[in-house]
Structure 1
């Protein structure tokens, strides 16, 4: 009986030593204690942060281009399909749904992009930029798709809309420097 208790105590001591001296609980060097244990993050919150960074990296900044020439000023590239679909998801607040409970799918997507307006403002002085002109380009993006909603509770059924249409308006703005940037001549007439 005594040897059985001694064996159990020895095993508990060995397990405690193994746990506290491995992985996140290292004895040497500075330690964060209980805060060194990783905390799982929900995929929902992770996706929100990834989308926020993706939009900031690709679409959230306004480029500053060289001076506009005297000829016709043409806007940069039209919105990408990714930008249109992300704007559509933000407008509808649809991110796919909850599996086996309520799912939302967009299939057979066709996007038509039309330029509505393309104009440039007169030069003015912008803080941190200097004399510049703001170039506006407005696009109307019509998205044709098959809308499929799969409902799993309380009664499983599927709703299909073959002719779903959404219209998204996207604005692209960028700056053109005023004057000659190579010569440092910013003597433009305001």
Structure 2
């Protein structure tokens, strides 16, 4: 009797494994065993991603979409007055540039944390000029318009230390200076009729 039980144990374990595999794969969700249409196979199983990596990818896409492209505008109007640059950098662009230069994200809760409070941003244009006409590959004759901004960020720097002795350090007059360039191109010539200036010597 004992010998028969010993012989049945591997068979029971094999049967249990087979039952587990069948119940997992026969729900219609995996590998198309019971499917109503096309199947993705093993790619249909979701893979968890760290929130840090997800935020990093979202930030990269956000900056590439809004700040890393160079706009190409129409010709400069000769009606009078110097050409005016595009809008100054947004607060979001300034804070993202500050976070790249002096990162404070992260920290360990209840042990060491750092915050920027009462943030105030002052933007001033320090240069605005247009380069002479030159031919850019894949664009044609164009002028580059340069606009340089000095952005001063005033904030209260708060550091909370939780170990070994809990204390808070406040710097109410913290400031950082950032220089942000907003460059864009102006087409040259009659863009509507596709007539551009002749090549420069």
For normalisation by structure 1, the TM-score amounts to 0.85
Distance in 2 (CA, whole Å) between partners of 1:51 and 1:135 is: 27
Instruction: Tell me what 1:93 maps to.
Output: 103
Distance in 2 (CA, whole Å) between partners of 1:59 and 1:154 is: 43
For normalisation by structure 2, the TM-score amounts to 0.81
Instruction: Tell me what 2:41 maps to.
Output: 32
Report the CA distance between 1:10 and its aligned residue.
Answer: 7.9
Report the CA distance between 1:94 and its aligned residue.
Answer: 2.4
Relative to structure 1, the CA distance from residue 167 to residue 98 in structure 2 (aligned partners, 3 Å threshold; closer, same or farther) is same
Instruction: Tell me what 1:181 maps to.
Output: 191
Per-residue CA deviations over 1:9-35 (Å, capped at 9, x if unaligned) read: 9877654432222333541465534x5
Worse-superposed segment, 96-105 or 84-93:
96-105
Instruction: Tell me what 2:116 maps to.
Output: 106
Report the CA distance between 1:145 and its aligned residue.
Answer: 0.5
3-state DSSP of counterpart to 1:176: strand
Question: Which of 142, 152, 156 does residue 146 from structure 1 map onto?
Answer: 156
Instruction: Tell me what 1:53 maps to.
Output: 61
Matched, 1:18 2:18: no
Determine which structure has more spread, i.e. the larger CA radius of gyration: 2
Could you tell me which runs of 5 or more consecutive residues in structure 2 were left unpaired when the two chains were aligned: none
